[in-house]
Structures are given as structure tokens and as C-alpha cells.
Amino acid sequence: MRESENNPRNLLDLLSAAIFLVDRNQNCVDINAAAETLTGYSSRELQGRPLREILLPGRHGDLPQPHDESFFEHPYPIDHESKGEAVLLHKNGTPLSVAFRACPFQDRSRTASGTMVEVHALGSDETQATLRKRSERLQALAGASLAITAAASLEELLTSVTKAAQEIVGAHQATVGFLRTNSWSSLIAVNLMSDKYEKWKDFEASPHGSGIYTMIGETNKPIRMTQAELEAHPRWRGFGQYADAHPPMRGWLAAPLVWKDDRILGLIQLSDKMDGSEFDAEDEAIIVQLSQLASVAIERVQAEERQRLLINELNHRVKNTLATVQSIAAHTLRNTNIPRSVHETFLGRLISLAQSHNVLTRENWEGAELTYVIEEAVKAYRGGLPERIHMRGPKVRVSPRMVLSLSMALYELATNAAKYGALSNDNGEVDIVWDLQSPSPDSEEQQLVLSWRERGGPTVKPPTHKGFGSRLIERGLGAELGGKAWVSYAPGGASCEMVLPIE
């Protein structure tokens, strides 16, 4: 089962309906096994060919008109479905009267990226109602896949899968469970029941590992049984110790959730179809696909959780290390003849580095909003002077590497302004302005252009030599981020210009 999880063709092959997937230009992308049988063509033979070459407008007895452009109202249905009758040309040239339904399928941005066409030979037992039901199920399955893959937590994921299984198949009872360990007693389950089972809605019990559901873990294959088959099966032992409290069952359909190495990680199970019929092969195909989607999503959620734990542990260790370095530096410098100003500058730089790490920690090391980075970098000098440091620019999210480098550079600029520049008197102000620009008219890349400009401070005199701060800005930003930065010392105020590529 696992080898099909990233291949929708395997799911389509489980369906008895002939399915054609076409792109925006109505060229065939893929067909399922039923379509290969109906047309006589293999999927490879039809790939890239216009669907209208074999599926033609008309009814039984009409003469097919190849390449007719009016098969669909649009090149593909954009926001609606098309349905009707047509003539399908078999590979051997034989025309076959068919009924079709066509509906758009969507990508993750919910944009129609092509069309799914479901075709049935007329004269069979299939009815338009059946065609509609199948089409609605496939649409619902596509929608459910978006919710499942977007789930941010295990609870949200299990709930999404359970709701999808219950609603798409149409069952009074639906359960999806995840095994925290190799023991069934560790199962975390989400149970959904219709109003028919109102008095059992609060039923919760931990599996004890002896029920028929354990067959799912032994075979790693879906199982489908009528109620008679279930009760006649040698592994069926009723509900064991929960017999008095367990809701009754009417038929059973179950599929495993499995890890990549084929270990069992849980199951989906349904009971009692709402229309009173038995579970069939198409019901099984639906929950098999849901189980595959859920298995992949669970592995993703688990991996993200492990990553969060590792990042939190790393952040904790880095924070402790920086605090230790600050403490060692403070105690070491305290008993030396090094001027206090040097002492304070060194510790200030360590604190700035620690604050930039705190910014990334709060953002899970996925970057941060530039406004937030700037505010944190100049916070030590802005607290009592909020009206003197002005910030203006669009929302820009920058990479972790840029957060660290920019934070240090802006801290150096703020420190210099507080000692010698616009923030060293009562009237000076600082403007921090940024924007996104393209390096050339035909480039799709963007770069951050940021300026720091001081005004109203003491008359500026260029320094006789460049200190650590200037070297950090002009050389460090270029080497670390592949950008450019330069500091100017005009009499009216120091300024700094930065041009940095957005990662």
C-alpha cells in the first residue's frame, strides 16, 4: 500500500469508473486502468494527446465529428462541472456511446489546474445519480486532502481524517486512531457518530489488543466485511469487556495507517453505512486513499514536533552559553585596567547577539519580520526616545542569517548615534527606511534596500580610522549576506546604506 501514497494513479486504478485526467489545454495527462480497458489505449499512448480525439460530442447513432472544438463550453470547466452524453472511439475504431461528467481538480492554492473526466458506457447499470455521487466523492476527497496536509497538530489531523471518512463514505460510525507505541493500549482515537448513536457518543475505551481490529496491524491491508461475515469470522469475539457499553456495529470497513517502513501506526475504521447498503470496493478505495494521506501527514507532524523539540533544546543551550560568556566577560573585565567604556561596549555587543537569537527563537528559526528585527536591535536606545527613531517600510520577512547580521549592524549604528551622533543630544533624530527593489528591470529577484540617516545631532566629523562597528557593517554584511553596505559621515549627520539580496 505504501508505494502508492505519492501516486494518485494507484488510487484511480481502484475505481471501476473510467477516469481521464487532462490539463488546461485538454490534453491527456493520465488515465486509470478502467479507462485503458474501455478505450483499448494504454495511459502512455494517450499522454499529451487531446481528449477530443477519442471523446466526441454526440449521442448514440450520431456520426462522430473528430476534433470538434465544442466538446466543453470552455477548454476545461473552470468553476462548474460539465456532463452529458458523448461518443468514445475505441482504439480499434469502434464508437461507443458513453455518459461523462467533467469537473475541475485543484492544486494546493485551490486553483483549477486541470479537469477530471469520468466516463461510463451507456447501457450499463450506472445511472446519472451514481455518476453524480462518484464525482462528488472525488471532489470531496480532493478537498479533504488539502485539509489533511495542512493540519498543524496530530489532533487536528486525526479529526480531519475522521470527518472526511465519515462524510465521504457516508457512515454512522467513524474512528481514526494513532498508536503512540507498539501497543494497542496506547491508541489515541477520534470517534465520530451520527445522531443514530447519540447515546454512545461519550463512549471511550482503550483497546486491549485482542479485538478483530488487530488483524489490520498483522496484514497491513484494508479489510471489508458485512455484519454476517464479521460475526462468522473466527477472530470476532464481540466487544469483550466493553460489550455492555460499546455501540453496536453493522458491517466493518478498516484500513491501516503505516510508517514508511511498513510498521503499523494506526487505523481508520467505519461501521453502518447511512444508506443501509454494505461497504463496497469504492468505499474501500476512498479510505485507502485517506489512510495513505493520513500516514504521510502523521509522519510530517511527528517530524515537525521532533524538530521543534530539538530547536527548543538548541535555543536553550545557546541562550545559556551566551549568558555564561557574558558572565565570564563581566567578571574578567571587572578586575582589569580596561576602560569601562570598552567593557560596556563589549557586553553590549554580546547582549545584542543574544537578543537576535531571542528573536529567532520566538520565530522557530524560520526568519522574522524586518520591523520586529529593527525594533529589537535599537530597543536599548529607543525606550526613552520613541519619537526620535522613525521606521518606515513594507512588510518583509528576512532569513535567520539576515536577522543575525542586520541586528548586529543596526546595534552598532544605534550605539554610535547614542555616543556621538543624533541620539547624543536632545534634538537629533534617526530615520530608518527600507524597500524592496529589483536589481534590474528584467530580473525576478528582489533585494532589500535599507537606509539609516541621522539628522539634528552634533556636527559630524569623519573618524580618523574605522572601528569595529564600521568594519562589521561594510565588510561583514557583504561577506555574510553577499550584499553591499557603506557608511558616510556628512556634517549634517551620519548615514548608512545597505543593499542586501532577499533569500
231, burial (CB in 10 Å: exposed 0-12, middle 13-18, buried 19+): exposed
Is 310 a domain residue? no
What does DSSP say about strands 95-106 and 112-121: parallel, antiparallel, or unpaired?
Answer: antiparallel
Any bridge partners for residue 401, and if so which? none
Question: 453 or 326: whose pLDDT is higher?
Answer: 453
What's the domain range around 385? 337-501
User: If you write DSSP's letter for every residue of 150-174 in order, what string do you get?
Assistant: H--SHHHHHHHHHHHHIIIIIEEEE
Whether residue 138 lies inside any domain: the answer is no
The count of domains in the chain is 3
Are residue 356 and residue 275 in the same domain, yes or no? Answer: no
Strand partners, 221: none
Q: pLDDT value at position 459?
A: 92
Would you say how long the chain is, in residues? 503
Q: Whole-prediction pTM value?
A: 0.52
Q: Would you say residue 132 lies in a domain? A: no
DSSP lists the bridge partners of residue 9 as: none
* 86 shares a domain with 10: yes
Are 276 and 417 part of one and the same domain? no
Is the domain of 109 the same as that of 211? no
Reported as a single tens digit per residue, the pLDDT across 410-456 is 888 988 898 889 998 888 999 999 999 887 777 778 899 999 999 99
Q: How far apart are CA 411 and CA 399, in angstroms?
A: 18
In percent, how much of the chain has pLDDT > 70? Answer: 80
Q: Is residue 136 part of a domain?
A: no
The 10s digit of each residue's pLDDT in 46-76 is 999 998 889 887 654 444 444 334 444 444 5
Tell me whether residue 158 is in a domain. yes
Looking at the structure, tell me whether residues 121 and 155 fall in a common domain: no
Q: What is the pLDDT of residue 407?
A: 85
More confident residue, 179 or 71: 179
What's 205's domain CATH number?
3.30.450.40
Question: Could you tell me if 269 and 399 lie in one domain?
Answer: no
Q: Are residues 188 and 111 in the same domain?
A: no
Neighbours of 466 (CB within 10 A): 14
Residue 298 inside a domain? The answer is yes
Calculate mean pLDDT across residues 207-222: 80
Q: Kindly report, residue by residue over 269-308, the tens digit of the pLDDT.
A: 999 999 889 998 889 989 998 998 898 888 888 888 887 7
Start-to-end C-alpha separation, the chain: 39
| Domain CATH code at residue 102 | 3.30.450.20
Cβ proximity of 473 and 496 under 8 Å: yes
What average pLDDT does the segment 175-184 reach? 84
Whether residue 386 is predicted with pLDDT greater than 70 in this model: the reply is no
Domain final position from 127, 160, 178: 127
Boundary-marking domain end, from 288, 303, 318:
303
Same domain for 349 and 463, yes or no, is yes
Listed range (59-73, 254-268, 478-492) with the worst mean pLDDT: 59-73
Calpha distance 216→30 (Å, rounded): 31
Same domain for 496 and 359, yes or no, is yes
One domain, residues 157 and 108: no
Judged by DSSP in three states, 441 sits in: coil
In a domain, 289, yes or no: yes
In terms of Cα–Cα distance, which of 479, 474, 453, 480 is closest to 399?
480
**Residue range 331-358: average pLDDT?**
69
* DSSP letters spanning 40-74: S--HHHHTTSBGGGTEEE--TTSPP-TT-TTSSSS
Report pLDDT for 129: 64
Nearest Cα to 226, choosing from 271, 191, 268, 256?
271
Instruction: Provide the 8-state DSSP code for 2.
Output: G
Band (pLDDT 50/70/90 cuts) for residue 326 is: low
Query: 174 exposed, middle or buried (CB, 10 Å; 0-12, 13-18, 19+)?
Result: buried
Q: Quick one: pLDDT at residue 364?
A: 66
Cα–Cα distance for residue pair 206/200, rounded to 1 Å? 15
Domain holding 372: CATH number? 3.30.565.10
Which of 6-20, 31-45, 330-344, 411-425 is modeled with the greatest confidence?
31-45
Do both 350 and 496 map to the same domain?
Answer: yes
Same domain, 175 and 264: yes
Considering the domain boundaries, does residue 324 fall inside one?
Answer: no
* Lateral strand order in the sheet of 187-193: 187-193, 171-179, 264-273, 252-258, 223-225
The domain boundary, picked from 82, 111, 127, lies at 127
Q: What is the mean pLDDT of the chain?
A: 80
Instruction: State yes or no: pLDDT of 179 exceeds 90.
Output: no
